[in-house]
Amino acid sequence: MSRVLVLNGPNLGSVGRREPELYGDTTLAAIETALRDRAAALKVDLRCEQSNHEGVLIDILEEEHDRAHGCLINPGGFSHTSIALLDALRAFAKPVIEVHLSNIHARESYRRTTVTAEAARGVITGLGPEGYLLGLAALVRIISATEGSA
Q: Say what the pLDDT of residue 122 is.
A: 98
Which of 53, 100, 110, 132 is an active site residue? 100
Query: DSSP 3-state assignment of 58?
Result: helix
Is 69 among the catalytic positions? Answer: no
Say what the pLDDT of residue 111 is. 81
**In the prediction, which pLDDT does 19 show?**
84
Work out whether strand 122-125 and strand 44-50 pair parallel, antiparallel, or are unpaired.
unpaired
pLDDT averaged over consecutive 10-residue blocks of the chain (150 residues)?
96 91 92 98 98 98 98 97 98 98 89 94 97 98 81
Q: So what's the pLDDT on residue 140? A: 98
| CA 84 – CA 115 distance, rounded (Å) | 10
Number of domains making up the chain? 1
Q: Is 132 a catalytic residue?
A: no
CA 100 to chain centroid: 8
Residue-range definition of the domain harbouring residue 8: 2-149
- Are the C-beta atoms of 131 and 100 separated by less than 8 Å? yes
pLDDT of residue 148: 67
Q: One of 23, 53, 65, 69 is an active-site residue; which one?
A: 23
Residue 149: its pLDDT value, please? Answer: 56
List the CATH number of the domain containing 65. Answer: 3.40.50.9100
Strand partners, 66: none
Q: What is the pTM of this model?
A: 0.94
